[in-house]
Amino acid sequence: MWNGANNPYEYDKDTGACALFGMINVEGKRFPSKDPVRAISNMRERGNGLGSGFAVYGIYPDYRELYAFHVMYLNHQAKRDVEKVLEENFRVVLSEELPTKEAKVWNPPLIWRYFVEPLTSKMREKNLTEDDYVVKNVMRINTAESGRALIFSSGKNMGVFKGVGYPEEIAEYFCLEEYEGYMWICHNRYPTNTPGWWGGAHPFNLLDWAVAHNGELSSYGTNRRFLATYGYECTMQTDTEVLTYAFDLLVRRHEIPLELVPKILTPPFWNEIDCMPQRQRQLLTTLRQIYSGLLMNGPFSIIVARHGQMIGLVDRIKLRPLTAAMKGNFFYLSSEEAAIRVVQPTLDKVWNLHGGEIAVGMVKVPVLV
């Protein structure tokens, strides 16, 4: 994925600090961009204008059965090449330039969106599920295009909008006031290694997984090589990518209940596990033994989302902040409580996540897809 244009120093992972904000309506009711954009913009100090982004769920109800690909191109040749691959492997129902308008952003690439469905014949030939087929193709294109093109959003009825600029500028550029979603994940970035590359902004996405991340994984080398043995090739070489794949592996492929995921990613210490009742001790010990390569070390707080779920998680010893809050039908996650208060001054409940703790906001009724 890297080349001289987007990563002149050949860095392997993100080092930086950031602001996170997420907001979900647990009834699945869609709402506009006003509150999320205002909240994330309130944490301006945590970014430096070199990367911001939004993952919005429930924005394409008319095409809810189709995968929505958002693709950035550095040149027209890349677009022709990718479109050829897309047409060979998918039925492309709609292809259009992503609507944008004048805004204070830096050097935007060409961005297109495609609504596609996998070609059944090809899928059967490879004996893959629909999701696995999409993952395989997305990874293949992203690896092969090596920085010239990037599929940065590939879920159904959701989309990622990201680039180089402050959050309110990116929101304006992508005309986010035109969209309504029931869940918004927002990110404001202070990068130290890939400034100026649109693909390097958060959230990261695969299928309907989106991850916004504040931190740095000291375990990145271990995590990446562990995930590679399960077929996940890290193409973007940022540590956030491994978090996305870890969730995909554990929750989607290995069907591990969400509440157990932190016991793998940010497990309790052995001396705590040793004191637990026998059955729990055995469960947690086995999880740590099998998935030792997925323990995420280093300072981080993350918001992970997929349809119907917004998950907050902080590192084992809480080196980065994350606040959760509830008000009526809304569940919030934010790097700072102030950002929540700015859009909702009175809250039913507010709490700071402990190290290794998870907070989940879920839509009560199954929504879409």
Partner 1 sequence: MRSYLLPEYVVRRDVKRCNKCKICIEQCTYGVHYYDEKDDYVLSRDENCVNCQRCVVFCPKRAIVIKKNPVSYRKNYHWTSEAIMAIKKQAETGSAILTGMGCDKPNLTYWDKLLLNASQVTNPSIDPLREPIELRTYLGKKGKQVELASNGGDVVLETELAPQLQLEIPVMFAAMSYGAVNLNVQEALVRAAVECGTYFNCGEGGLHPSLYKYGDHIIVQVASGRFGIHIEYLKVGAAIEIKIGQGAKPGIGGHLPGEKVSEEIAKMRMIPVGTDALSPAPHHDIYSIEDLKQLVYALKEATEYIKPVAVKIAAVHNVAAIASGIARSGADIIVIDGVRGSTGAAPKVIRDNVGIPVEFALAVVDERLRNEGIRNEVSIVVSGSIRNSADVVKAIALGADAVYIGTAALIAMGCTVCQRCYTGKCPWGIATTNPRISKRLNPEEASRRLVNLLNAWSIEIKEMLGGMGINAIESLRGNREQLRGIGLSESELKILNVKPAGM
- Two structure tokens written together for 323: 């606040």
The least distance separating partner 1 from the CB of residue 131, rounded to whole angstroms, comes to 17
Instruction: List the interface residues with partner 1, window 229-258 (CB under 8 A).
Output: 229-230, 254-257
Strand partners, 117: 91
Return the number of the residue (287 or 314) whose C-beta is nearest partner 1.
287
Q: How far is the C-alpha of 150 from the C-alpha of 1, rounded, in Å?
A: 8
The radius of gyration of the chain's CA atoms, rounded to the nearest angstrom, is 19
Here's the x/- map for partner 1, 76-95, by CB under 8 A: it reads as --------------------
- Is the distance from CB of 334 to CB of 21 less than 8 angstroms? yes
Return the number of the residue (92 or 295) whose C-beta is nearest partner 1.
295
Burial degree of 364 (CB within 10 A; 0-12, 13-18, 19+)? exposed
Q: Check binding of 228 to partner 1 (CB under 8 A).
A: yes
Q: Which of 34, 65, 104, 270 binds partner 1 (CB under 8 A)?
A: 270
The least distance separating partner 1 from the CB of residue 191, rounded to whole angstroms, comes to 10
Pairing of strands 16-25, 149-153: unpaired
Q: Check binding of 192 to partner 1 (CB under 8 A).
A: yes
| Residue 275 annotated as catalytic | no
Return the number of the residue (110 or 256) whose C-beta is nearest partner 1.
256
Please identify, among the stretches 72-80, 96-104, 174-182, 224-232, the one whose residues bind partner 1 according to the rule CB under 8 A: 224-232
Q: How far is the C-alpha of 199 from the C-alpha of 110, rounded, in Å?
A: 12
**At 15, is the secondary structure helix, strand, or coil?**
coil
- Two structure tokens written together for 289: 């033994």
Q: Check binding of 216 to partner 1 (CB under 8 A).
A: yes
- Two structure tokens written together for 77: 């040749």
Please identify, among the stretches 13-21, 55-63, 90-98, 345-353, the one whose residues bind partner 1 according to the rule CB under 8 A: 13-21
DSSP state of 106: S
Q: Check binding of 3 to partner 1 (CB under 8 A).
A: no
- Is the distance from CB of 101 to CB of 184 less than 8 angstroms? no
Q: Check binding of 286 to partner 1 (CB under 8 A).
A: yes
- Is the distance from CB of 250 to CB of 256 less than 8 angstroms? yes
H or E segment at 141? Answer: helix 130-145
Q: Which of 95, 218, 309, 344 binds partner 1 (CB under 8 A)?
A: 218
Return the number of the residue (271 or 346) whose C-beta is nearest partner 1.
271
Return the number of the residue (97 or 259) whose C-beta is nearest partner 1.
259
H or E segment at 172? Answer: helix 167-173
Which chain residues interact with partner 1 by CB under 8 A? 10, 12-13, 15-17, 192, 215-216, 218-222, 225-226, 228-230, 254-257, 260, 269-271, 279, 282-283, 286-293, 295-299, 316-317, 319
Please give the positions annotated as active site: 18
